[in-house]
Amino acid sequence: MNHEPRQQPGNLGIDADALWSDILTTAQYGATAKGGIRRLALSEEDRQVRDWFVRTCTAFGATVHADSMGIQFARVPGTDDSLPPIAIGSHLDTQPTGGKFDGIIGVLGGIAVLRALHETGRKTRHPIEIVNWTNEEGSRFAPAMLCSGVFAKVFDEDYANSRADRDGIRFDTALRSIDAAGKEKCGEHPLAAYFELHIEQGPILEAEERVIGIVTGVQGMRWYEVTISGRDSHAGTTPMSMRNDALQAATRLMSSVQDIALNRAPNAVGTVGLVEVRPNSRNVVPGEVFFTVDFRDPQDGNVVAMENAFRDRAATLSREFDVSIGISEIWDSPAVHFDGGLVDSVARAARSLNFPAREIVSGAGHDAAYVARVAPTTMIFVPCAGGLSHNEAESASREDVAAGANVLLRAVLEADERLNA
């Protein structure tokens, strides 16, 4: 299906070919053999794509700087440069086996807007900024959206800097290693509004043959780290009745995550995504297991109820297997409702371009969820094949990505006229 904008001659639109070229170019930084991307936050591959971001944005007349958390801002002035900027952004870091579209199209869609303004000479009242948020994924430094969280004063810088990856490398050490930090203190940067373009990361738009998701908010989510401690012992000489087997308790507790989510609410989800067994030897009864849990639901009360059920199950298993179970909540992101005026701007932009659209709540976390605490915010979704994301096979069509970028452009231009008028 052709989703090129149905607009009158002379109306501003993005260059779909150039946007697609940018997607293919950035996919080279951290490219994997299976066609995906491994570009962890503050890695050498991240440094390379950050340098590309600077080169590309400055070619369109932007000045680029970073704040103390390494968040990059590419700014073009407005006709009234005293106004706070309208920002467009997302992230350039990926999962260990990530795809070409998650996060990246939000930054590249913003660059497409800059390109359209630059090449037509169109001036906005507000400055326009493209933002690359550091460590959105949380796959290297947990929790996710770490630096947009600092920006929104959910976390302080000391907390963020102390976060370490699985190799024990601290965030601040990694930040220095690629010389990514700037002088501006994170969070001391006013925004008039914030827009984020993203693939849906779910199957709804594709299933309903909708081109645009008008995102009204983000569901609530919590992350936990669980450590189960038993006792290492010989697999051949320790009777079954005398074992303190951490792994057997862990398998029962991990299985309960799915049961709890299935029985809580229609939209509830629960995931165990990372597991470590120690000492991880074939003839040793495991003495310790570490794993992570992710609970999500559009209603915060359901997330709390899932946590309570999980803790109750852990207490029961602790007694049954004679092991200790420690549960640490490391991240709590309550449900977010986006700015009604900006949501309406996205809806009007989609209608003006005749793109089939629907309202939708994001099941995934995004930097927009934190930015919404300090500035009017909204998001735009486009379909991805099979709803698949966080996977090297992640895919979206050129036409759908271009459609999302054209809706973004029109919504930003409307906001520029309406805000601070």
Domains of the chain listed by start with CATH number: 16-219+335-418 (3.40.630.10), 220-333 (3.30.70.360)
pTM for this prediction:
0.85
Q: Is there a binding annotation on residue 198?
A: yes
User: Would you place residue 415 in the very low, low, confident or very high pLDDT band (cuts 50, 70, 90)?
Assistant: very high
**pLDDT tens digits, 242-297:** 999 999 999 999 999 999 999 998 999 999 999 999 999 999 999 999 999 999 99
Q: Is there a binding annotation on residue 137?
A: yes
pLDDT at 421: 67
pLDDT of residue 151 exceeding 70, the answer is yes
pLDDT of residue 2 exceeding 60, the answer is no
Q: What is the 3-state secondary structure (H, E, C) of the chain?
A: CCCCCCCCCCCCCCCHHHHHHHHHHHCCCCECCCCCECCCCCCHHHHHHHHHHHHHHHHCCCEEEEECCCCEEEEECCCCCCCCCEEEEECCCCCCCECCCCCHHHHHHHHHHHHHHHHHCCCCCCCEEEEECCCCCCCCCCCCCHHHHHHCCCCCHHHHHHCECCCCCEHHHHHHHCCCCCCECCCCCCCCEEEEEEECCCCHHHHHCCCEEEEEEECEEEEEEEEEECCCEECCCCCHHHCCCHHHHHHHHHHHHHHHHHHHCCCCEEECCCEEEECCCCCEECCEEEEEEEEEECCHHHHHHHHHHHHHHHHHHHHHHCCEEEEEEEEEECCEECCHHHHHHHHHHHHHCCCCEEEEEECCCCHHHHHCCCCCEEEEEECCHHHCCCCCCCCCCHHHHHHHHHHHHHHHHHHHHHCCC
